[in-house]
Amino acid sequence: MQQKININTEKKNQTEKNTESPNSHTLFGSMMKEALIPLNLEVESNYEVGKGPPKLDVLIIRRTGDSWTDEQLDFLPDGIRQKKCRYVILELKYTESINQIAIFQTLGYFGSYLKIKGISIDDACTFLVSAKTPNNKTLSKLNFEKKQIKGVYEPKVDILKPLSLITLNDLSDKNYNLWIKLFSSKKKQKLSVLQKILSLDLKKISQELIVILFKIMNFWNKTGEVSMQTIKKEINSEFLNGIDEDLVNFFLSFTKPELVARQLKPEERLMGLKPEDVIPRFKPEDRLMGLKPEDRLMGLKPEDRLMGLKPEDRLNGIDIETIEKYLERKKSQIKKRTK
């Protein structure tokens, strides 16, 4: 009698669907490529299994040298930086929880890639990178245990040996961990990491990587994880004050002018502009809005103030005695000129 194989997973994990946002993977891949390719590492995402689909939804890092260089180690996070393997396969779980299906899926990707490329299992390693932190019960059930490095878990059984777990919330705040921790699940972690990155010497970071940082912040805002208002409130302005003016302009070039203006007070929007630069942009009636009648007429010649008015409108409001005196004076002036 054929024996059924029972995979011991909770019902919730069995039915959990892959709800990974394409944006999270795209941003993760773009960040790793932009940081590592200039450091003489080959980085590839969505590796194709033959022609067309299916594609492996993983990130592949290939080292060309015999060991990691100091420059590469400045960016490679814990877990990866301690490994000596030439091929590193990463799978990001941004919204999914870690479970047995995720473990088997990552190992499946790993096995497929090795078979296609003809790579020895001793020359490659794979990592399941999790935004969320699994509890101790889950780790025990999956046969993974915590080692000396914070946020890195290794398997207790040989069959899982090529695979390590990296939990982003638990990695240390060393500089080489900061960028990958932008994809951690905890709001406080995101803000803390962002502030630490902004405290670095940003002039030494490529503008392309800064743009990706900006896109990650925008992604947080769109998904509701961290709003731009929260970022503005929580990030210390002293760090932002040191940002190079050219870098600020580069940031702003990706933003619609009206969105930038919306963040400024009215007096800040007009700062540095001359009155003649501002006034022509308003209709005549808008220019006079809120002014008292005497303020509107200030600076005009008497004849200019009366221009366009009918005679009765000009005389309206003047008492008859004043009008008669004016007429008598005008008659006297005319008589003098005609003599």
State the CB neighbour count (10 A cutoff) for residue 202: 18
Q: Contact, 24 vs 183, CB < 8 A?
A: yes
Alpha carbon separation from 339 to 81, 235, 313, 331, 333 (Å, rounded): 111, 86, 33, 13, 10
Beta bridge partners of 90: 59, 127
- Could you give the CA distance from residue 59 to residue 10 in angstroms, rounded to a whole number? 28
Q: Are 89 and 66 in contact (CB under 8 A)?
A: no
Nearest C-alpha neighbor of 60 from the set 99, 112, 98, 95: 112
pLDDT at 68 (0 to 100): 97
Question: How many Å apart are CA 242 and CA 199, to the nearest integer?
Answer: 9
Residue 56: name the closest of 13, 116, 98 by CA.
116
Token digits of residue 238:
């002293």
Contact between residue 196 and residue 171 where contact means Cβ atoms under 8 Å apart: no
pLDDT at 232: 80
Nearby residues of 309 by Cβ (< 8 Å), 6 or more positions away: none
Cβ neighbourhood burial of 305 (10 Å; 0-12, 13-18, 19+): middle
pTM, two decimal places: 0.68
Instruction: Read off the pLDDT of residues 14-27 as tens digits, 9 standing for 90 and up.
Output: 334 444 444 898 99
In order along the chain (339 residues), what is the average pLDDT of each group of 10 residues? 37 42 82 94 72 64 94 96 95 92 92 91 95 94 93 94 96 96 95 90 83 91 90 68 58 62 71 76 74 71 74 77 82 77
Instruction: Give the span between the Cα atoms of 151 and 94, in whole angstroms.
Output: 15
